[in-house]
Structure 1
C-alpha cells in the first residue's frame, strides 16, 4: 500500500519540486496551506489519515512551537524542513523519536533515503511496542490465572440481607424504612404473590384499580425508584432491592431474603422498642 504524505507549508509556490520528487517515489501526496496557517482541532484529526507529515515553512523562526507540539501528539513521523540560513533549536524534541529535522533544499536521492529510514524506524518501533504489549498481556494473564481461584471464591460470596414488611415499614436487617401507602402496596404485591416476576402492566393493574388513572407506567417507575432511593438513603446498602430486566419485568433482588413469622417479636421490638 502506498504511503500517504501531507506537506504543510506556508509557501505553496516553493513546493513544486518537492511534490514532484515525492510523487516519483510512489507516495500519495497532499499539500495544505490552510492547516498550517489556520490550524483547528478538526484539522489535527484529519492529519491522522496520513503516514507522515512534512512541515515546511519559509522561515522556521516563525514556527509556532505549540503547533508543532500538537503535531507531535499525533504520534506520527514528522519531518521539519529547515533552510541552511536558519538557526534551529532541536533540543526540545531530542527525545521525541517522531520529529526529524532535515536541511532543505535536499537532493531527491537523500530525501528518498531519509523517508525510507524514517518509515523503517517507525515500523520497528511499532513492532517493538506490540511485542512489549503482548508480553505484558501474557504476564498479566499469567498472574490473573494464578490468583483467579481465590478471587473467584471471594466474588461468589455476597452478603444477604433479611427483610420484612410491617405496618408500612420496610425492615432490612436492623434498618427501618418508612413507606407511603402506594410504596407499601408495591412491595406487598411482590412479597405476598406466588409469582416472582411481574410485568409493569400487571403491577399497574394491581396497584391502580381505577381504570381512569393516567400515566400508570410512569407512576410505577417513579414509585420503584423512590423505594430504591429510600433504601440507599436510610441504609448503607447499595444493592438495588428491586431489579428490572427489559422484556422480562420487575423482580426482587435475591440478595434480600424475607424473614419468616418466627421473627415477629424481633420486628415488633424494632418498631416500638423493647418492653
Structure 2
C-alpha cells in the first residue's frame, strides 16, 4: 500500500518492443503524476531454450548472439531514459533475463515498487486465456498494485489527467480501503467523474420459493452495500472528484462492471484484489482476473 505521507510513487514500468508498453510510458510521462514518479524502466530478455546433445546442454542460439540482444535492450532503455527521464522525479533502467512475467515481478520487488505499470498488447480475451500474456501474468500474480494500461480514444478534450472517467468497483474486500488513496495518488484532474459501483451477485438458478425466503436478507445486503459506497464518497469528494454511486445486480459481477464501464465511456476500472489463493484463482477465477482479461480500457488492481 502507498504511504499517505510519501508524495513519491516508486513506479516500475514494463518495457518491451510492443507499441502498448511505449504508449503506457508516454501517457505516464505526459500526466500530472509524472513529477511524483520515481521510475524504473524494466525489460526482461527471454533466455533461449536449451537442447541436450550427447549429454551436453546447449542454447539454440550462440551465447554471443544472446549477449548482443541484451546489450541492444540496454541501449534502447538508455534511449528511453534520455527521452523521458527529465519528466520524472528520477529514472533508472534495469534489464533481466528469463520469463517476462516472473522477471518483472522480481524486479518490482528489488526496486520496492509501489506499483507496476504495464501496457497490454491487445490480444483478445480468448487469446489471453489460451496463451496468457505478460500483463495478465503480472496483474494476477504480483503482490503489488498493478496498472494494465490500454489507450482509449475518446471525444474528451486532452488533459493532464492520466484518466478522465473512472469506475471504482466496491466489493467489500479489505483492499477497498486503499482504493481512494490510489485515486488520490493518480492526481486526476479536478471534477473528474468517478463512478462507485457495487454489484450484488444474483442467483437466477434458485427456485422461486427460495428467492422469496431470502428477499428480506437481500434488502439488508442492499442497504449495507449503499452504506459501503456512501462511506467511500466523502474521501473522493474531498479530492474534488464528481462522484456517482450505483448499485447493480447481475449473475456475473465482472461482466456487470465491464458493461457499466463501457456504457459510461470510462477509461479506467479500479478494483481491489480479492486476495484469493492461486488455486482459487485458477479454479474459480476472481472479479479482478475477469476484468483484466476482458476489459478494453485500463485496469488498476489495488493491493
- Say yes or no: TM over 0.5: no
* Higher normalized strand content (fraction of residues): 2
Q: Kindly name which structure, 1 or 2, has the bigger radius of gyration based on alpha carbons.
A: 1
- Considering Cα pairs closer than 8 Å and 6+ residues apart, tell me whether 1 or 2 has the greater RCO: 2
TM-score, normalised to structure 2, is: 0.26
